[in-house]
Structure 1
Amino acid sequence: MPPKQKNKSWMDWKQAGNDSFKKGQYGEATNMYSQAIKELDKSSKKNPEDLAVLYSNRSASYLKDGNCPECVKDCNVSLELQPFNVKSLLRRAAAHEALERYRQAYVDYKTTLLIDCNVTAAQDGTSRTMKALAAADGPSWREKIPPIPLVPLSVREKVAQKTQSGPAPQQNGTRETDKPAPSPRDMKKGQALKDEGNSLVKKGEHKKAVEKYSQSLKHDPTEVTTYTNRALCYLSLERYADAVRDCGAALTIDGSNVKALYRRALALRELQDVRACAEDLNHLLRVEPKNTAALKLLQEVQNE
Structure 2
Amino acid sequence: MGNAQEKPSGSGAARSDQASAGSGARSRGGGGADNPHGQRPSQKGVANGTRTGINPAGGGQEERDRPAEDTSYLDAPAGALPPHLARFKNEGNHLFKNGQFGDALEKYTQAICGCAEAGIDSPEDVCILYSNRAACYLKDGNSKDCIQDCTKALELQPYSLKPLLRRAMAYESLERYKMAYVDYKTVLQMDTGVQSAHDSVHRITKMLIELEGPEWRENLPAIPAVPLSVQLQHRDKPVSIELAQARAARAVQDEVRKKESQFTLLKQKGNDLVKNGNFQEALEKYSECVALKPDECSLYTNRAICFLKLNRFQEAKEDCDSALQLEPGNKKAFYRRALAHKGLQDYLSASTDLQEVLAMDPNVREAEQELEAVTGLLRQSLMDNTAHTPRV
One-letter amino acid of the counterpart of residue 165, structure 2: L
Counterpart Cα distance in 2 of 1:152 and 1:130: 25
Residue in structure 1 matched with residue 194 of structure 2 by the alignment:
119
Q: Percent identity?
A: 42
| From 129, 142, 146, the counterpart of 1:54 | 129
After TM superposition, give the deviation of residue 3 of structure 1 in Å.
Answer: 3.2
Per the TM alignment, residue 216 of structure 1 is displaced from its structure 2 partner at its CA by 5.5
Larger RCO (CA under 8 A, 6+ residues apart): 1
Task: Provide the residue aligned with 2:7 in structure 1.
Answer: 3
CA distance in 1, matches of 2:222, 2:250: 34
Larger Rg, first or second structure (1 or 2)? 2
Distance in structure 2 (CA, Å) of the matches to 1:135 and 1:64: 29
Partner of 1:96: 171
| Contact 1:170–1:176 under 8 Å retained in 2 | no
Say if 1:27 and 1:141 are closer, same or farther in 2 by CA, change over 3 A. Answer: same
Partner of 2:49: none
Q: Quick one: distance in 1 between partners of 2:150 and 2:85?
A: 19
How far residue 162 of structure 1 moved from its aligned partner, in angstroms, is 3.9
1:199 deviates by 2.1
Q: CA deviation at 1:45?
A: 4.1
Task: Give CA-to-partner distance per residue, 1:79-105, whole Å, 9 cap, x none.
Answer: 000111111011000000000000000
Partner of 2:220: 145
Whole-Å separation in 2 of the counterparts to 1:61 and 1:75:
11
- Once residues 260 and 148 of structure 2 are traced to their aligned partners in structure 1, the CA distance between those partners, rounded to angstroms, is 49
* Cα drift, residue 202 of structure 1: 6.5
> Does structure 1 conserve the Cα–Cα contact (< 8 Å) formed by 2:193 and 2:247?
no
Match of 1:241 in 2: none
Which of 231, 250, 263 is 1:196 aligned to?
Answer: 263
Q: Tell me what 1:35 maps to.
A: 110
* Compared CA separation, residues 194 and 146, structure 1 to 2 (3 A): closer
Alignment of 1:58-73 (within 5 A): 58-73=133-148
Alignment of 1:6-17 (within 5 A): 6=11, 9-17=84-92
Match of 1:296 in 2: none
* Counterpart Cα distance in 1 of 2:201 and 2:104: 29
**CA 1:194–1:102: 2 relative to 1, 3 Å:** closer
Measure, in 1, the Cα distance between the counterparts of 2:146 and 2:268.
43
Distance change >3 Å, CA 115–CA 202, structure 1 → 2: farther
Deviation at 1:122, TM superposition (A): 1.0
Q: Provide TM-score, normalisation by structure 2.
A: 0.44
Distance 1:63 1:216, change over 3 A: farther
CA distance in 2, matches of 1:202, 1:169: 38
In structure 2, relative to structure 1, the CA distance for the partners of 1:193 and 1:151 (3 Å cut) is closer
Residue 7 of structure 2 aligns with an amino acid whose one-letter code is P
1:181 aligns with none
Partner of 2:182: 107
**Whole-Å separation in 2 of the counterparts to 1:88 and 1:201:** 46
Superposed displacement of residue 197, structure 1: 4.2
| 1:112–1:122 CA contact under 8 A, matched in 2 | yes
Q: How does the TM-score come out when normalised to structure 1?
A: 0.56
Pick closer, same or farther for the CA change 1:198–1:57 going to 2, 3 Å: same
Letter aligned with residue 84 of structure 2: S
Task: Tell me the secondary structure at the aligned position of residue 225 of structure 2.
Answer: coil
Deviation at 1:2, TM superposition (A): 5.1
Cα pair 1:3 1:16 within 8 Å, conserved:
no
Q: Deviations over 1:172-197 (max 9, x none)?
A: 745969xxxxxxxxxxxxxx978624
- Bigger share in helix: 1
* Preserved contact between residue 131 and residue 163 of structure 2 (Cα < 8 Å): yes
User: How much has 1:117 moved relative to structure 2?
Assistant: 1.4
Instruction: Find the aligned partners of 2:251 and 2:189 in 1 and give their Cα distance.
Output: 23
Q: Please give the alpha-carbon distance, in whole angstroms, between the structure 2 residues aligned to 1:99 and 1:119.
A: 21
Equivalent pair of 1:2/1:13 in contact (CA under 8 Å): no
Query: Is 1:194–1:216's contact at 8 Å kept on the other side of the alignment?
Result: no
